[in-house]
């Protein structure tokens, strides 16, 4: 047993809506009012149109997408994950916007059948203290 | 940037020193750096008092909970100048990725502009006590809130996602990567200063190693070390009066991705697209074409970069490097191959960042490689990833 717990996110002004939504098991991302593009991570300047006054509005999204890459973590440099290995991380392109990528754990475990293009949907991992971290699950019918 | 670099062939490397590369040195990094710099200055036929420029990059590339302390775990240009007793007219550090190629570009610019006459370019790398990347954090704020809470941490994971994308897209095998690592270790085993001196690796040993972050095993990663290298650079004109045959800088380029990504996210498309643009700038600035390069030295701090650099430089087609490697195409002992790891790289030396690539270009093009001497006149030294790092073209003649 590791004596260190898994690291929990520390929200800041820019990220608070993201973590607040995650705690409710929802994915929320900021959308730029100038170019209407979403971004992750949240930023003070829109990474798509580079506006310094993007007036982002937070939007709840479905969180489906396809796997672009993955890795099985068999050894973690974070002692708080010592009891979690092996686990899978997936690099997912969300359906909602081209090249909008999220990297998160795949909750199906290291033996789940995975390929480039595998369909996934959002899931969540609850952490002690009320926080939840976005994760993915293989779509049931894929 | 347009057309050929106006400082083309105007700046040269005129001397060097490489400390032994060890797991833990018996002296501080600052002492090692000071001694190595003095050796390099003497090697160039100069006195310490003639040196008036200092350039380095001080990134301490650990994700662990280790402090960056000048003279202990890093050595800045100003620290080195002060400890050599020099009041420099130019001292500057490179902040971006591709620390070695970036440092070279700063030194070239300073010399070509006349900001300095003789520059010590050094790189001091430290292996702290304890596990290199281990970090006992239990909270993740700032940029780490986007990666750490899901266990996405450290450079291996970033490379594993990138490499698996390559593996899935092009069908690369572990057998091919075994040949990359075996080649690096074979060449590193011949270097007296290398951590891996006299310790080659077999393909069987590579294939038997368990995966850490699939498809990466420990042999795909360079080993953290204590080590310092220093080079002396000056103008081509001044170089003529110095004892060693100068090696000239023909041009350089660095990558600059514009697409915003999550921290530690290097998707294959970014590496390829931005890397190809970087390579175009490299050939345009140096006036050299890929076919003229007889000493390509690709970066290999993580083994997948060997494929990515070979392809970015146009030494083979996109997605083809792994097949070329499997066919013996990078075996430096065979005629007609691409000797991309003849200097052992980081996998064959230890975590010296892009130093082994630069050093091999210098040693071979100056005719100072001893019994490893090859016939070569155009070298390319690469560092980091093609899309974030950079490359420098070196020539044995000024134009
Ligand atoms: Zn915008």
* Out of A5, A75, A135, closest to residue B212 by CB: A75
Tokens encoding B340: 């991309």
**Domains, chain A, with CATH or none:** 11-61 (no CATH), 63-142 (2.40.50)
Contact B68, B29 (CB under 8 A): no
Helix B99-113 to helix B355-365 angle, to the nearest 10 degrees?
50
> What CATH class is the domain B11-130+224-395?
alpha beta
CA A42 to ligand 1 centroid distance, Å: 12
Given an 8 Å threshold on Cβ–Cβ distance, is A10 in contact with B210? no
Among residues 48-67 of chain A, which lie with CB inside 8 Å of chain B?
none
Hey, where are the domains in chain B?
Answer: 11-130+224-395
Given an 8 Å threshold on Cβ–Cβ distance, is A7 in contact with B139? yes
Question: Which H/E stretch holds residue B237?
Answer: helix B236-239
Question: Which H/E stretch holds residue B306?
Answer: helix B304-312
pTM exceeding the 0.95 threshold for the entire prediction: yes
- Write out chain B residues lying below 8 Å of A97, CB-based: none
Longest dimension (CA), chain A: 50
- Asked if A123 is an interface residue toward chain B (Cβ–Cβ < 8 A), one would say no
* Residue of B140, B151, B304 to mutate when probing chain A, most A C-beta within 10 A: B151
The pLDDT score that the predictor gives to residue A1 is 45
Q: Is-cis flag, bond preceding B245, omega within 30?
A: no
Q: Residues in chain B with pLDDT < 50?
A: none
* Per-position DSSP letters for B20-46, written without gaps between them: --BSS-SS-HHHHHHHHHHHHHHHTT-
The long-range contacts involving B144-147, CB below 8 angstroms and separated by at least 24 positions, are B144/A7, B144/B263, B145/A9, B145/A10, B145/A11, B145/A12, B145/A15, B145/A19, B146/A40, B146/A41, B146/B262, B146/B263, B147/A103, B147/B262, B147/B263, B147/B264
Q: Counting Cβ atoms within 10 Å, is residue A84 exposed (0-12), middle (13-18) or buried (19+)?
A: middle
Given an 8 Å threshold on Cβ–Cβ distance, is B149 in contact with A8? yes
Q: Cα–Cα distance between B55 and B81 in angstroms, integer?
A: 10
- Asked if B211 is an interface residue toward chain A (Cβ–Cβ < 8 A), one would say yes
- Write out chain A residues lying below 8 Å of B133, CB-based: 77
Whats the size of chain B, residue-wise? 399
Q: Where are the beta strands (DSSP E) in B149-285?
A: 211-213, 216-217, 227-235, 247-254
Q: Is-cis flag, bond preceding B215, omega within 30?
A: yes
Q: What is the pLDDT along chain A (142 residues), one digit of tens a residue?
A: 446 789 999 999 999 999 999 999 999 999 999 999 999 999 999 999 999 999 999 999 999 999 999 999 999 989 899 999 999 999 999 999 999 999 999 999 999 999 999 999 999 999 988 999 999 999 986 5
Q: CA of A26, closest CA in chain B: separation in Å?
A: 16
The pLDDT score that the predictor gives to residue B2 is 65
Sequence-separated (6 or more) residues with CB below 8 Å from residue B203:
B175, B178, B179, B182
Q: CA of A126, closest CA in chain B: separation in Å?
A: 11
Given an 8 Å threshold on Cβ–Cβ distance, is A78 in contact with B267? no
The pLDDT score that the predictor gives to residue B133 is 79
> What is the chain A residue with the closest CA to B259?
A47
């Amino acid at each position: 047993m590791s004596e260190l717990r898994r690291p929990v996110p520390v929200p800041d002004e820019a990220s608070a809506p993201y973590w607040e939504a995650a705690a409710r098991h929802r994915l929320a991302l900021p959308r730029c009012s100038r170019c209407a593009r979403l971004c992750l991570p949240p930023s003070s300047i829109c990474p798509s149109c580079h506006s310094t006054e993007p007036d982002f509005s937070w939007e709840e999204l479905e969180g489906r997408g396809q796997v672009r890459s993955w890795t099985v973590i068999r050894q973690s440099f974070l002692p708080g994950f010592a009891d979690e290995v092996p686990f899978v991380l997936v690099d997912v392109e969300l359906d909602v916007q081209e090249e909008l990528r999220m990297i998160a754990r795949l909750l199906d475990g290291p033996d789940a059948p995975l390929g480039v293009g595998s369909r996934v949907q959002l899931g969540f991992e609850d952490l002690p203290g009320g926080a939840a971290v976005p994760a993915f699950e293989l779509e049931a019918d894929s | 940037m347009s057309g050929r670099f106006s400082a083309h062939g105007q700046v040269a490397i005129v001397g060097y020193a490489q400390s032994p590369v060890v797991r833990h040195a018996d002296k501080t990094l600052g002492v090692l750096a000071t001694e190595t710099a003095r050796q390099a200055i003497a090697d160039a036929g100069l006195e310490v008092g003639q040196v008036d420029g200092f350039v380095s990059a001080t990134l301490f590339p650990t994700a662990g909970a280790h402090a960056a302390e000048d003279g202990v775990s890093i050595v800045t240009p100003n620290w080195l100048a002060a400890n050599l007793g020099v009041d420099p007219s130019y001292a500057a550090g490179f902040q971006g990725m591709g620390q070695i190629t970036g440092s070279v570009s700063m030194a070239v610019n300073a010399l070509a502009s006349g900001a300095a006459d003789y520059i010590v370019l050094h790189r001091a790398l430290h292996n702290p006590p304890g596990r290199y990347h281990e970090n006992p954090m239990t909270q993740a704020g700032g940029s780490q809130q986007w990666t750490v809470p899901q266990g996405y941490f450290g450079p291996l994971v970033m490379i594993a996602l990138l490499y698996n994308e390559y593996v899935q897209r092009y069908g690369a095998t572990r057998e091919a990567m075994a040949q990359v690592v075996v080649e690096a270790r074979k060449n590193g085993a011949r270097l007296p200063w290398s951590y891996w001196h006299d310790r080659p690796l077999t393909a069987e040993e590579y294939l038997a190693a368990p995966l850490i972050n699939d498809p990466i095993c420990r042999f795909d990663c360079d080993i953290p070390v204590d080590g310092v290298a220093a080079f002396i650079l000056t103008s081509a004109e001044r170089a003529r009066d110095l004892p060693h045959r100068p090696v000239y800088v023909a041009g350089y380029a660095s990558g600059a991705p514009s697409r915003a990504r999550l921290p530690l996210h290097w998707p294959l498309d970014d590496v390829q697209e931005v890397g190809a643009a970087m390579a175009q700038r490299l050939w345009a600035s140096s006036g050299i074409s890929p076919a003229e390069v007889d000493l390509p030295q690709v970066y290999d701090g993580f083994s997948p970069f060997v494929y990515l650099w070979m392809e970015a430089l146009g030494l083979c087609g996109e997605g083809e490097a792994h097949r070329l490697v499997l066919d013996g195409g990078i075996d430096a002992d065979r005629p007609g191959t691409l000797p991309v790891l003849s200097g052992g790289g980081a996998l064959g030396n230890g975590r010296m960042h892009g130093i082994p690539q630069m050093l091999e270009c210098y040693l071979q093009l100056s005719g100072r490689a001893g019994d490893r001497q090859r016939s070569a006149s155009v070298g390319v030294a690469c560092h980091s990833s093609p899309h974030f790092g950079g490359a420098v073209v070196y020539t044995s003649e000024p134009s």
